[in-house]
A and B are shown apart, each in its own frame.
Chain A
């Protein structure tokens, strides 16, 4: 049973200014009875997410809408388990896979083949499993003999093709994405699209942050609209996108 349940989840970021990060200042403050530190210790707290309550069930394809800074990335990081809520409870049942930064951990000096193993290990795929799948990954990436060359010799497109080929090997129960992945030239794009569709089909819950109306309408069966860290609307894609994009159009025009 795969589900995600958020109960009054808040995320606060404490902004440490230079003095807050310095142990010396801290000690001096204690020594001087907090006199000097009084104005420096104004710890600013940014509330990135406030009182989120929702439940995602099996089969949900959730689109996350919201302007920059609305809390989409923070929410994705919470779902991913990187952040823990400052208060409230986040219950996540199911194996999580993230396609947010697919180039993470790629070492430009290592060869493409080595990077496939590194990236695989970061994603939690065992070495035996990687050995079994490496040919398929190399074939998909269409890198040919370049696979044994250092990644720094790759073009940007080749680099992305490599990252994409490894990262989409996983079949997680909960899949997190920030915009649809689209890489490579025409030929590759087509196969990448196929693989993405297949990946999304195989996953139990999809959470996709996006700014594209077409994408959200095409992929999702539920949309959550975040505004200033709060849920503004949560429901049917047509209704929520109409409200979200309609509002944008109204304010633009």
Chain B
């Protein structure tokens, strides 16, 4: 029994570490992906940033007045929420094609498969860096000062990435075999968007049962460990514990499953 777990785990970890050692390849390919969006376009991915900024402005006006929350509080909350939700949702959507899109390389060169996940992740981090420009502009617009607590967001973002990496690896693996999972993930993400306090404030929830439901939502915690510090508050212990626990459990499962089925990926494509 134990041996059945150890040998796939060793296979998976070997691939993951080998992939991590080829970080320069992943970085180069991810960077190349972003550069492709800049080619023959003056603003490139910044077009996405602009449309996201316009959306934040519009939603901020409408929902700010519905919730009767001053823009000083609501707009920063909303902008961090939308920026990082955009990151999380595009990582999860693109992870479904993580291996499928790299079919050409996977079938020709023996490159660790984890490289393709890292490439996708790096590409999205670069795009996140574009979109993040909105946040300081919003702070400037509502006249909110910078705060030392904001530095905690770096640790929060690290933990968010650790979680997204296992999710992406697992999705890429399962989607290579079952192609219509991509559709399921896309629609599930839409539901999660409404279930998670991104455009609405958690304190607007009426009852305790709704709060309970909120605390079960993993995306809420993954978002909160980055958003709370950026808004000048410390994330709660529950947020950290949930995100940390999720990383531990998620990685354990992913490593076993990945180790078991990694060798099949080239055949599935």
> Which residues of A pack against B, CB within 8 Å?
13-14, 16, 21-24, 26, 77, 80-84, 96, 98, 100-101, 104-105, 107, 109-110, 114, 117-118, 121-124, 126-127
Contact = CB atoms under 8 A, between A and B. Distances in A.
Interface string B94-116: 00000000001111111100000
A105 B107 CA distance: 12
26 contacts: A14-B267, A21-B178, A21-B179, A22-B180, A23-B181, A80-B108, A80-B109, A81-B110, A82-B107, A82-B108, A82-B266, A83-B267, A100-B108, A101-B108, A104-B105, A104-B108, A105-B105, A109-B36, A110-B32, A118-B32, A121-B25, A121-B29, A122-B105, A123-B109, A124-B22, A126-B24
Contact of A122 (B111, B263, B266): B111
Contact of A82 (B24, B106, B178): B106
Given A13-B267, A110-B32, A117-B28, A22 B109 contact: no
Interface string B7-46: 0000000000000001011001100100110010000000
Contacts of A98: 108-109
A82 B110 contact: yes
Contacts of B266: 77, 82-84
Given A22-B180, A82-B106, 19 more contacts: A26-B178, A77-B107, A80-B110, A82-B107, A82-B108, A82-B110, A83-B266, A104-B108, A104-B109, A105-B104, A105-B105, A107-B32, A107-B36, A110-B35, A114-B32, A117-B28, A122-B105, A124-B22, A127-B24
A110 B28 CA distance: 12
Contacts of B263: 84
Q: Which of B22, B35, B104, B178 is packed against the most chain A CB atoms within 10 Å?
A: B178
B39 A109 contact: yes
A21 B184 CA distance: 14
Contacts of B39: 109
B260 interface: no
Contacts of B180: 21-24
Mostly, the B contact residues are helix
How many B residues touch the partner, as a band? 20 to 34
Contacts of A96: 110
B130 interface: no
Contacts of A107: 32, 36
A22 B110 contact: no
Contacts of B35: 110
Interface in B72-109: 104-109
Nearest to B110: A81
A101 B109 CA distance: 9
Contacts of A21: 177-180
Nearest to B174: A23
Given A82-B110, A83-B267, A96-B110, A122 B25 contact: yes
Contacts of B104: 101, 104-105
A21 B179 CA distance: 6
Nearest to A150: B39
Contacts of B109: 80, 82, 98, 104, 122-123
Contacts of B267: 13-14, 83
A2 to B, nearest CB: 16
A100 B109 CA distance: 9
Contacts of A123: 109
